[in-house]
Every structure is written in structure tokens, then in C-alpha cells.
A and B are shown apart, each in its own frame.
Chain A
Amino acid sequence: DSGVTQTPKHLITATGQRVTLRCSPRSGDLSVYWYQQSLDQGLQFLIHYYNGEERAKGNILERFSAQQFPDLHSELNLSSLELGDSALYFCASMGTTAGELFFGEGSRLTVL
């Protein structure tokens, strides 16, 4: 158990719909990272928040947005969903020892 909590674990929806993925970082961690992992693909960085502020953006689509709330949990909003958005979405928080990432178990999104 990494201490990072993600919900929901699985989500099936239709094209054109909007979903929200939620993440709570490890207790004491201020950062949240979102990664997308498509089938047989590596981990594509989407966005990074630190203590409520956006710190870095990767190849995140305009249809996607995220925020980090005062209690440090984060939400990733995916709208106008397309088939190609089907993927595993991981949230991670960063440890202080080696700057390592602690990943949640992921949210598997299936767009039909």
C-alpha cells in the first residue's frame, strides 16, 4: 500500500461524456502528479500540482483539466471523451527521501 488513494478503480463510460478521477496523496505529501498509461505504453506525464498550485504540464489535452484542493486531494477532469482516452490514469505523490514517486493503484477508464 503506497498510501496514495485513487477513486474510482474502474470506470466505463461513453464517448462524449465527462468523468472525474480523484486522488489523495500520502499523508504529509504536498505534491500530486497525474500520469496516463495506455495499453502497452509507458507513463505519459499529464500535470503536476504542489500545495494547490500547478507546477508543470505535460502533453495534457485541452479537454483535460485538473486541480488540487486545500486539503491536497486532486481531481482530474476528462471531458468530451474519445475512444483513445481509454487508459489507466495514475496519480502519484512525491516522497522526500529520494524524490521518488508513490503511485496509487490507478483508475482504469474505458470509453465505449
Chain B
Amino acid sequence: GQQVMQIPQYQHVQEGEDFTTYCNSSTTLSNIQWYKQRPGGHPVFLIQLVKSGEVKKQKRLTFQFGEAKKNSSLHITATQTTDVGTYFCAGPRTGNTGKLIFGQGTTLQVKP
């Protein structure tokens, strides 16, 4: 079945270092969404990418959607302790309107 995979599963960085998580889909996606879940919290929507090759920025976060619309990445520049959490990508299931398939997430730990 359709799968969305994320790597790495865990990442520990020193505060100030950069961080990247990668998301790969087994099928072409019409769009991809990114969510952040703080420890003990619930997932919160960050952004949606729709166009092939699209790049969007939110302050220190840069999101990219691959040309083939099967992969995406989230890059955080100069991490801060507030960036700690699990980052999920999610894509709509082919032919099933409304259902989002989530990747397993990348958990980011930032050492001060």
C-alpha cells in the first residue's frame, strides 16, 4: 500500500547546528503537509506544499517539495531548544479524498 517514510527517526544536535528531515512517498502526492508535535503535545500544522519544486520558508524553517512530488524536506537553520519535538510529513492517500498518511516522524533533540 501507499507509504510515507521519513528519515532519520531521531536526531540529536547541538544548539545552533542545522537540522534536516527527509520525507519520501511511494506514490506521487498532490500535496504534502508538515506538522510539529512538541513533547507531550499534539501535532500542529506547519505548512502545505503543492507545486512541484516548491520552496517555502518560515523564519528558520525551509520546506521543499521535490520535482517529482514524491519527496520533501524540512531544514531548520541554527536550531534552538524551542525546536525540540517530532516533525511529521503527511500526504493525501491516492484516490481517497481527505485521508492523510503520516510518516513515522523525526524526533529532534537539541542540546543547549
The verdict on A105 contacting chain B, using a C-beta distance below 8 Å, is yes
Nearest residue (CB) in B for A105 is B42
Within 8 A of A (CB), among B53-112: 88, 90, 92-93, 96-105
Query: Is A100 a contact of B45 with CB atoms below 8 Å?
Result: yes
A45 to B101, CA, bound (A): 7
A43, B45: Cβ atoms closer than 8 Å: no
Give, as a whole number of angstroms, the nearest-CB distance from A60 to chain B: 12
Interface contact B99-A94, CB-CB below 8 Å: no
Contact of B104 among A42, A56, A94, A105 (CB under 8 A): A42
**B47, chain A: closest CB distance, angstroms:** 8
Supposing A50-B98, A90-B43, A106-B42 touch, asked if A99 and B103 sit within 8 A by C-beta, the answer is: no
The 7 closest A-B pairs by CB, nearest first: A98-B48, A100-B45, A42-B104, A43-B102, A103-B42, A56-B99, A103-B43
The 13 listed contacts between A and B (C-beta, < 8 Å) are A31-B98, A42-B103, A45-B101, A50-B98, A56-B93, A90-B43, A94-B98, A99-B31, A100-B33, A100-B48, A103-B43, A103-B44, A105-B42
